[in-house]
């Protein structure tokens, strides 16, 4: 049996040795062979392969795109070249545990695919009590809740189960090809088992494609246009699909604006804004990338952040108290909501627990920018 590991490479020679070393360390049975397929999407920079030890157990192939074609095209090329019964799609900076393949094969059983748990780079688990893995995955579940994974590195899939529609319709904008694969899997009733083992690490540092918001917005529209033409959905399903995709695309546009505004505003401007509003201490709702960035800016200015609120408080490991919403939260002058999407829904949810003032970070940034508070 062969397992194929497909890795698109874009100016990523520095990652090659780590990937080869990682796969060589996988714990596998004697009858399992591994093949790594590097697809070079920056052919002006030839891939430099390291020396590797277990050449009888691990084969390496390099495929060169004629020009930069994007990650989806590169994954398709790799999948079409692969000889393995099983496929793993990796980003060039992904990290997988040495027990990854053994554990995934044990949990796939008779199904078409299996997904595992993993970690963000900061050590937070992807799935937890506050964000559990779904025991069942279906097209209706997808329409209601969206793409459940952080990355395709969490997925082991049988090569024969990769939907032809994903292979035959190339996305031109990077970002949503993994979402596209999952959507076509669910539409084609591809069965998926779950694996609670933590086997994957997502290198999320704010420089990933997923944080290039304009790119993600274009990719989301690209995916939506392609998927709508595949005619998988009835009218009710299409309405759900449009709402889900349009909401995410709109969120990316708002995050793009937030990032621009946040990069141009100083800690002193924040401090002056809160002073003029007679706000002396706050809590931050949503302790993700921008919640953490806001926290660091305010701490640098000497402003008091009492605590943070996050639905995933059970996995946050930081130097400030992170809690879930509850009725006995410490009183603060205001709660600043860092997520840009669904602010009014979040505000209504907060107001069930307290009467504190609730402010949108994006609205704060717009007001500071428009009033020109001194730096």
Residues 15-40 pLDDT 10s: 999 999 999 888 776 688 999 999 99
Statement: residue 207 has pLDDT above 60: no
- The percent of residues above 90 in pLDDT, for the chain, comes to 76
Q: Please state whether beta strands 192-202 and 2-9 pair in parallel, antiparallel, or not at all (unpaired).
A: unpaired
Do 319 and 202 share a structural domain?
no
Q: What per-residue confidence (pLDDT) applies to 136? A: 85
Q: How far apart (Å, rounded) are the C-alpha atoms in residues 161 and 170?
A: 18
Statement: residue 205 has pLDDT above 50: no
Q: What per-residue confidence (pLDDT) applies to 300? A: 85
Look up the CATH number of the domain holding residue 177.
3.90.550.10
Pair of tokens at residue 266:
């100083």
> For residue 194, how many other CB atoms are within 10 A of its CB?
19
Pair of tokens at residue 344:
């009014």
Statement: residue 156 has pLDDT above 70: yes
Helix (H), strand (E) at residue 183: helix 177-187
> For residue 254, how many other CB atoms are within 10 A of its CB?
17
Residues with Cβ within 8 Å of 224's Cβ and at least 6 positions away in sequence, in order, are 241, 242, 245, 246, 249
Do 275 and 199 share a structural domain?
no
Task: Flag whether 222 is in a domain.
Answer: no
Out of 48-52, 54-58, 249-253, least confident range: 54-58
Do 168 and 290 share a structural domain?
no
Helix (H), strand (E) at residue 351: helix 343-351
Statement: residue 78 has pLDDT above 80: yes
Exposure string of 212-244, with b = 16+ CB inside 10 Å and e = fewer, is bbebbbbbbbbbbebbeeeebbeeeeeeebeeb
Identify the domain containing residue 319 by its residue range.
Answer: 265-371
User: Quick one: which of 161, 149, 169, 164 has its CA closest to 189?
Assistant: 161
Counted domains in the chain: 2
Q: For residue 375, what pLDDT band results from cuts at 50, 70 and 90?
A: low
**Residue with structure tokens 């002056």?**
272
Pair of tokens at residue 58:
């691990």
Domain's final residue, options 209, 232, 249: 209
- Between 206 and 229, name the one with better pLDDT: 229
Pair of tokens at residue 227:
């998927």
> How many CA atoms lie within 13 Å of 41's alpha carbon, on the beta-carbon side?
20
Do 189 and 272 share a structural domain?
no
Residues with Cβ within 8 Å of 372's Cβ and at least 6 positions away in sequence, in order, are none
Pair of tokens at residue 255:
């995050």
* pTM recorded for the entire structure: 0.91
Strand order in the sheet with 86-89: 58-64, 33-40, 2-9, 86-89, 155-158, 113-120, 192-202, 95-96
Task: Flag whether 235 is in a domain.
Answer: no
* Helix ranges (DSSP H) in 264-301: 267-276, 289-300
> pLDDT by residue (tens digit) across 267-279?
889 989 999 999 9
Pair of tokens at residue 200:
């994957």
CB 202 within 8 A of CB 118: yes
Domain's final residue, options 142, 176, 209: 209
Q: For residue 210, what pLDDT band results from cuts at 50, 70 and 90?
A: very low
Do 191 and 48 share a structural domain?
yes
Q: For residue 53, what pLDDT band results from cuts at 50, 70 and 90?
A: low
Q: What per-residue confidence (pLDDT) applies to 374? A: 56
Domain's final residue, options 168, 189, 209: 209
> pLDDT by residue (tens digit) across 328-364?
999 999 999 999 888 999 999 999 999 999 999 999 9
Mean pLDDT, residues 306-333 = 90
Indicate the SS3 state at residue 8. strand
Q: For residue 167, what pLDDT band results from cuts at 50, 70 and 90?
A: very high
Do 269 and 188 share a structural domain?
no
Do 150 and 19 share a structural domain?
yes
Q: Give the Å distances, CA to CA, from 357 to 254, 275, 354, 360.
A: 22, 15, 9, 10
Statement: residue 245 has pLDDT above 70: yes
């Amino acid at each position: 049996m062969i397992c194929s590991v497909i890795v698109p490479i874009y100016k990523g020679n520095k990652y090659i040795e780590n990937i080869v070393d990682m796969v060589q360390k996988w714990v596998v049975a004697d009858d399992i062979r591994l093949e790594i397929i590097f697809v070079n999407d920056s052919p002006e920079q030839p891939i430099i392969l390291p020396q590797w030890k277990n050449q009888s157990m691990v084969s390496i192939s390099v495929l060169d795109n004629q020009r930069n074609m994007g990650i989806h095209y590169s994954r398709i090329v790799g999948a079409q070249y692969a000889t393995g019964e099983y496929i793993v799609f990796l980003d060039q900076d992904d990290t997988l545990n040495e027990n990854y393949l053994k554990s995934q094969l044990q949990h796939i059983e008779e199904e078409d695919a299996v997904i595992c748990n993993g970690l963000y780079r900061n050590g937070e688990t992807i799935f937890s009590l506050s964000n559990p893995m779904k025991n069942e995955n279906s097209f209706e579940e997808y329409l209601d809740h969206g793409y459940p994974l952080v990355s395709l590195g969490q997925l082991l899939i049988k090569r024969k189960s990769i939907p032809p529609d994903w292979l035959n319709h190339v996305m031109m904008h990077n970002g949503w090809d993994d979402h596209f694969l999952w959507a076509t899997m669910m539409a084609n009733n591809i069965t998926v088992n779950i694996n609670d083992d933590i086997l994957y690490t997502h290198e999320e540092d704010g420089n990933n494609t997923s944080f290039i918001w304009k790119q993600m917005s274009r990719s989301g529209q690209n995916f939506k246009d392609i998927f709508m033409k595949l005619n998988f959905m009835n009218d009710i399903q299409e309405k759900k699909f449009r709402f889900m995709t349009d909401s995410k695309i709109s969120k990316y546009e708002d995050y793009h604006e937030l990032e621009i505004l946040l990069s141009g505003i100083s800690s002193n401007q924040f401090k002056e804004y809160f002073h003029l509003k007679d706000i002396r201490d706050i809590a931050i709702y949503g302790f993700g990338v921008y919640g953490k960035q806001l926290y660091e800016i305010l701490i640098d200015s000497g402003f008091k952040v009492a605590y943070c609120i996050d639905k995933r408080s059970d996995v946050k490991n930081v130097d400030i108290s992170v809690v879930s919403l509850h009725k006995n939260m410490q009183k603060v002058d205001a709660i600043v909501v860092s997520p840009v999407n669904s602010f009014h829904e979040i505000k209504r949810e907060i107001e069930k627990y307290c009467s504190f003032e609730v402010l949108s970070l994006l609205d704060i940034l717009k007001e500071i920018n428009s009033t020109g508070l001194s730096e």
